[in-house]
Structure 1
Amino acid sequence: MVKSLLHKSWPKDVPNELEYRLGEKPLHEYLIQNAMDYPNEPAYHFYGKEITWHQLKEKSMRFAQFLKNKGMGKGNRIALFMQNCPQYLIGHYAIQMIGGIVVPLNPMYKSSELEYFINEANIQVIITGQELYQLVANITHQVSSLQFVVTTHYADFLSTNNTLPLPDELNMKRQEIKDSFDMLSVIEGNNPIEQVEKVDIWDDVGLMVFTSGTTGRPKAAMLTYGNALFKTAASAHGYLIGAQDITLASAPLCHIAGMVMGVNIPIYSASSCVLLTRFDPEAAIKAIETYKVNKLYTVAPMNAAILQYPGIENRDLTSLELNFATSFGMQVDEELANAWEKVTDGCLLFEASYGLSETHTCDTIMPIDKVKHGSCGIATYDTEIRIVDMETGTDLPPGEQGEIVVKNPGVFKGYLNRPEDTAETLRDGWVFTGDIGMLDEDGYLYFKGRLKEMIKSSGFSVFPEDVEALLSEHEAISQVAVIGIPDEVRGESVKAFIVLKQEYKGKISEDEIIAWSKETMAAYKYPREVEFLDSLPATSSGKVLRRLLKEN
């Protein structure tokens, strides 16, 4: 599809060309410059604790020196396994200051999942919340690459004067964990790093995000420092986010969209951000009221929760101007947008973008002056989107559905140690997304579904092969296949079809399998339904036909 069509609806107030605010440099250098330009201005607010640009830079550089002293440097893979907190931000930028690679891990993962991810990415260090440490300790003998662990107590970065209701994690007592380094102690015990590592922003990998690609268990998508800079700048300029704005981050920072909005955009734009450990309606409402948040990223169920909150009509959300949202579990449609506009006295709510981990997400933006509900907006800066026939690969005209194919400076380098999977997804600089979509005559993209069998549960990607591998560890299970089924709350939930070993038939129930799964894997991933079968539908080569399970 030609660029003239893709940018036919470009918003009038947004610059046509992308110019980086401080030039073409990695985001941690933006952080350092922000500390020079606005040393005492608040970078983040954390339940009443104000963290200035100078403080964030200083703590990041001190932690970077600790990592360097421990032998970490360019190319080392260091995981962040914790809830949203200032320590996450410090860890992220400290890792990149030494030229390391950030590997986000969802704090909902259990030990079996951690073992897979650590081995797959050859992770050398994990920085984790103290409440999650035991999950790491459980598998240290199964992960030869792991050299040491850093733990943190979230309350270390709290004020004594809390302005927002605290989640449980922030009320926990501090634990002394002997087999790990305490993050606050090592920050206080080191001088700031004298010089950050020089990186080639378009070639050096700064981030590895686990994703399915088109098939298989999760793979580590390798993203460069430049990928992050480009997509962050495109989103910030596309939605006119600047130093004058105050944003709110409550989506998981370990998720690529939450990372862009909560980790990257505040640093790029030098805007102030209110950080929540997790979404809570009262905390979010009070944060908007207290800090006069004017630009907000949400997933649609967050908006619904606020709209349904008792007494919301008497709360003050009038500071809100723009709310870019994602349709997870429910649609960001005109009905929701109208209700949101009414309760906020004019805030514009719309679908934020289309994107995927392999492109550092945010491949589209919604023109603020030409919102089309039901669409994902138009191609963002320097981005081409094509719709191709799924069999022939030829381009399709507007109005016809096919596979979405994307090309821009945010496209990843490939999957770690997976050349065949990389070749399948990345072809001549184009990412073949495995998603079905359509472009209209004005260049707006409409997402229609997934070619791949990935399940989208509560906004998280669930890969059938991953759940199947974990279920196969159960002693009673001979064969298993999982699919996604509709769920009004989560969007989709996992259903498992299981063939029991002969000696366990009649001796174990579906509910027992579900209970075991709940203890073994993340909450969004474990099957909510289990069905026992005598056999699974399969091809002559033995490949399970999940589509037949969906049809039954």
Structure 2
Amino acid sequence: MKSILKKSWPSDMQETLHYRLGEKPLHEYLLQNAINHPQQTAYTYYGNNITWQQLSDNSRRFAQFLKGEGVSKGDRIALYMQNCPQYLICHYAIQMLGAIVVPLSPMYKEAELLYFINEAEIKAIISAQELYEQVEAVKQQTTSLQFIITTHYTDFLPEAKTLPLPDELKIEKKKLNSNFDLLEEIQSNNPISETEQIDIWEDVGLMVFTSGTTGRPKAAMLTYGNALFKTAATAQGYQMKQSDITLAVAPLCHIAGMVMGVNLPVYNSLSCILLTRFDVETAVKAIEDYKVNKLYTVATMNAAILNFPEIEQRNLTSLELNFATSFGTKVDQNLAEAWEKVTGGCVLLEASYGLSETHTCDTFMPIENIKFGTCGIATYDTEIRIVDIETGEDLPPGVQGEIVIKNPGVFKGYLNRPDATKETLKGGWVFTGDIGMLDEEGFLYFNGRVKEMIKSSGYSVFPEDVEALLNDHEAILQVAAIGVPDKNRGESVKAYIVLNPAYKGKVSERDIIKWSKEKMAAYKYPRDVEFLDSLPATSSGKVLRRLLKEDR
């Protein structure tokens, strides 16, 4: 199988992976960038040019604050905010102490937030101002949360903005009841004198929530080495260099957005334009004004830019390479050709295949041998097998089976979930629960999911999670959630519900959708609800979601 996977390896690429500054945590790369390139712009945030020295200094100051509050190696600290410089400062400050970053989507609502805080035993949470009320509402129900730090996006905005601001960056800063204000603590603390000693291949530096193949979300434990390896492999695979200018618009709390927006700029010491979220006009202007040449997108972003009024009159010719992910819209030859035309030659390709348990980016697309409809070929030090779902035996090229992966990015397991870990992680191999195949050239095809995880707008939605949240509604007796095709989101959630008898005729499907919208993240709440008298189930009572999908 290894020989097959090497068939399409680019001829001009190094065959072995080289770590630019050696095998050390990425926060040590940040500190070295501040020494080697102190005045180079690291990130630009709506016109605020933040140098490597400033980013390093602010991270070290915040690390000192956290240390003073008792944060130490192994503690879990959550980040609950949209893209902003504070996210970067906090991420690296936490890891300088050997503590663990736990990204939480800013789309999470109270019930979801409470679950994640308790599941990961989070000690402190750093929240954006507009999200603080939700933290405040659940903090008394948590068992581990000791203190809250709040921040406001305007704290790192310049007086003269160069790009249009989204609405959340126009909200006035106000005094909150939180324990601490991030900017005040950065300003009042000296930089930490030394960072914690890290065993990069053993110590956990990141926990991201995923269901694995089944169940409610679990915290996947990723080491500092997992992050370093995947970042280095991606950088070398796509030939990133210090002179590159990138644009970070994907959510930093999402594993792919983290690699591209948090890790790669630090690893390569390159400059990154940071936006709080994707907006077509702002993204186009950022590319024009800052001469962005390397870009990571979700394909729906490319489609939105292509459909932007008079886009042919805009200057996107600085773009050279755009690695994109097929969510909602596929990265295919038609999209690539349209993109090449409007940008004057930029190459658009499928970014990679990966999952949270492997710190994503297990494959890359060879630039001179793009094969649309595939996820590319295995990256450095990576083995990919296709195995029979029933027997576990290896299958030959062209035969569909379960995708199984082994590389230095593989996680340590799920926090406090030994049974789930044993099911997914076997002898260093991650059994992904995904269906795919390899062709004769080693290109990987992704064909679907063994289990019933729903992929909505690029996010993983777990049926059990949606069901658990819906069960909080007093009118619901039973519920089953499935994914249904959605031309804009890829998939959206549909909920089949059995009502409590007392509520029949008193609650409508529209009422349930409205309630769900208030309780769940936007990508997660059901867009369609159907009432049934009963749900299909086994003799033991297990609901058979597959029958619901088959009956559609």
TM-score per shorter chain, which class? over 0.9
Q: Which residue of 1 aligns with 2:485?
A: 486
Matches within 5 A, 1:304-453: 304-453=303-452
Shift, 1:40, TM fit? 0.3
Asked if 1:459 is matched to 2:458, the reply is yes
Deviation per CA, 1:479-536: give whole Å up to 9, x if none. Answer: 0000000001111000000000000001110000000000001000000000000000
The answer to whether the Cα contact below 8 Å between 2:150 and 2:178 also exists between their aligned partners in 1 is no
Q: Which residue of 1 aligns with 2:178?
A: 179
- The letter for the 2-side match of 1:496 is A
Distance in 2 (CA, whole Å) between partners of 1:145 and 1:178 is: 19
Other structure's SS at 2:304 match: helix
Q: Which residue of 2 aligns with 1:168?
A: 167
The answer to whether the Cα contact below 8 Å between 2:219 and 2:415 also exists between their aligned partners in 1 is yes
Deviation per CA, 1:133-152: give whole Å up to 9, x if none. Answer: 00000001110200000000
Deviation per CA, 1:289-320: give whole Å up to 9, x if none. Answer: 01100000000000000000001000000000
Other structure's SS at 2:44 match: strand
Distance in 2 (CA, whole Å) between partners of 1:300 and 1:132 is: 28
Q: Which residue of 2 aligns with 1:8?
A: 7
How many pairs does the alignment contain?
A: 551
Shift, 1:7, TM fit? 1.4
Deviation per CA, 1:73-120: give whole Å up to 9, x if none. Answer: 100000000000000000000000000000000000001000000000
- The letter for the 2-side match of 1:285 is V
Q: Which residue of 1 aligns with 2:144?
A: 145
Shift, 1:551, TM fit? 1.0
Deviation per CA, 1:366-385: give whole Å up to 9, x if none. Answer: 00110000100000000000
Q: Which residue of 2 aligns with 1:239?
A: 238
- The letter for the 2-side match of 1:114 is L
Deviation per CA, 1:2-29: give whole Å up to 9, x if none. Answer: 2111111111222110010000000000
Other structure's SS at 1:169 match: helix
Distance in 2 (CA, whole Å) between partners of 1:299 and 1:518 is: 24
Other structure's SS at 1:447 match: strand
Distance in 2 (CA, whole Å) between partners of 1:106 and 1:174 is: 21
Distance in 2 (CA, whole Å) between partners of 1:96 and 1:388 is: 37
Would you identify which runs of 4 or more consecutive aligned residues in structure 1 move more than 3 Å? none
Q: Which residue of 1 aligns with 2:54?
A: 55
Q: Which residue of 2 aligns with 1:131?
A: 130
Other structure's SS at 1:385 match: strand
Q: Percent identity?
A: 73
What 5-or-longer segments of structure 1 have no aligned partner?
none
Q: Which residue of 1 aligns with 2:94?
A: 95
Shift, 1:389, TM fit? 0.6
Q: Which residue of 2 aligns with 1:263?
A: 262
Shift, 1:178, TM fit? 2.5
Distance in 1 (CA, whole Å) between partners of 2:53 and 2:13 is: 30
Other structure's SS at 2:126 match: strand
Shift, 1:180, TM fit? 2.6
Distance in 2 (CA, whole Å) between partners of 1:230 and 1:169 is: 35
The answer to whether the Cα contact below 8 Å between 2:27 and 2:92 also exists between their aligned partners in 1 is yes
Other structure's SS at 1:499 match: strand
What RMSD in Å do the two structures reach over aligned CA positions? 0.5
Distance in 2 (CA, whole Å) between partners of 1:13 and 1:94 is: 37
Other structure's SS at 2:292 match: coil
Distance in 2 (CA, whole Å) between partners of 1:300 and 1:238 is: 20
Shift, 1:179, TM fit? 2.7
Deviation per CA, 1:30-86: give whole Å up to 9, x if none. Answer: 000000000000000000000000000000000000000000010000000000000
- The letter for the 2-side match of 1:529 is D
Other structure's SS at 1:207 match: strand
Distance in 2 (CA, whole Å) between partners of 1:537 and 1:212 is: 23
- The letter for the 2-side match of 1:280 is D
Distance in 2 (CA, whole Å) between partners of 1:452 and 1:234 is: 29
Distance in 2 (CA, whole Å) between partners of 1:16 and 1:205 is: 28
- The letter for the 2-side match of 1:384 is E
Q: Which residue of 1 aligns with 2:250?
A: 251
Other structure's SS at 2:367 match: coil
Distance in 2 (CA, whole Å) between partners of 1:178 and 1:346 is: 52
Distance in 1 (CA, whole Å) between partners of 2:15 and 2:290 is: 32
Matches within 5 A, 1:12-91: 12-91=11-90
Distance in 2 (CA, whole Å) between partners of 1:499 and 1:386 is: 42
Deviation per CA, 1:421-456: give whole Å up to 9, x if none. Answer: 000000000000000001000000000001110000
Other structure's SS at 1:196 match: coil
Shift, 1:272, TM fit? 0.4
Q: Which residue of 1 aligns with 2:214?
A: 215
The answer to whether the Cα contact below 8 Å between 2:293 and 2:320 also exists between their aligned partners in 1 is yes
What 5-or-longer segments of structure 2 have no aligned partner?
none
Other structure's SS at 2:250 match: coil
Other structure's SS at 2:59 match: helix
Distance in 2 (CA, whole Å) between partners of 1:426 and 1:292 is: 43
Distance in 2 (CA, whole Å) between partners of 1:161 and 1:17 is: 45
Distance in 2 (CA, whole Å) between partners of 1:317 and 1:199 is: 42
Distance in 2 (CA, whole Å) between partners of 1:220 and 1:493 is: 24
Distance in 2 (CA, whole Å) between partners of 1:223 and 1:507 is: 47
- The letter for the 2-side match of 1:49 is N
Shift, 1:242, TM fit? 1.1
